[in-house]
Copies of this chain bind each other. A is one copy, B any other.
Amino acid sequence: MIKSIVLVSGGMDSLVTAAIAGQESDELYFLHLNYHQRTYKKEQECFHKLVEFYNPSDVLEIEVDYLKKIGGSSLTDESMEIKDHDHTGEVPSSYVPFRNAHLLAIATSWGEVIKADRIYIGAVEEDSSGYPDCWESFFKAMERSISLGTKAETVLEIRTPVIHMTKAGIVELGNRLKVPFQYSWSCYRNNDLACGTCDSCVLRIRAFELAGIVDPIPYEVNK
């Protein structure tokens, strides 16, 4: 009996990760964090649709205000601009300081109580925006922190099944797993339609193009 917690943001990487977790687990538990990021309503809507679609054993929906209070990211600080995609290689301003550690800590606390076996997170290392909290070495270190900082009987493995995949590979795999891409939101800008020009949109559009699959969501740039 494998009980797995999946961090489901409402984006495409965590959606495909949820589908993989579903194949590898007996029970799924979906965890969603609203951290007052610009697009939280869009992501929350997607999450609710994914809960309907995948029907997990339980759901934990959390809201925190501290990441916005702390700021330092264009996703939470509305006075900072969401920049168009560039190729500087620097950590982009959309980086939310140490965000994935918060997600893993919440999943661990929950996992310790419900006696889960695994935490799935849809981080992507190479073909992504260059966030330091998406590196595999970070997840290995967090797994060790979790092992040492919880009860002896708590054994939680962190699984990152798409971490070394390209975005196009993730789209292809999601397509094979028949994931509902129409219920995913990637854009960093909080417009009615996805902008098509921010870091996250550019990576998504390119991925669908390379995979030769039609992205079912509409974009502003195509209007």
Interface set of A (CB-CB < 8 Å, partner B): 60, 62-67, 69-72, 91, 95-102, 105-106, 108-110, 112-113, 132-133, 135, 137-138, 141-142, 144-146, 148-152
Q: Which 9 A-B pairs have the closest CB atoms?
A: A72-B113, A138-B149, A97-B112, A141-B145, A133-B149, A97-B109, A138-B148, A101-B105, A62-B66
Chain B nearest CB, measured from A33 CB (Å):
9
> Is A102's CB under 8 angstroms from B102's CB?
yes
Q: How many monomers of this protein are in the complex?
A: 2
> Is A101's CB under 8 angstroms from B70's CB?
no
Residues of B within 8 A of A97 (CB): 108-110, 112-113, 150
Bound complex: CA A79 to CA B141 (Å)? 35
Residues of B within 8 A of A71 (CB): 113
Bound complex: CA A122 to CA B72 (Å)? 27
Residues of B within 8 A of A138 (CB): 145, 148-149
Residues of B within 8 A of A105 (CB): 98, 101-102, 105
> Is B70's CB under 8 angstroms from A113's CB?
yes
Residues of B within 8 A of A110 (CB): 70, 97
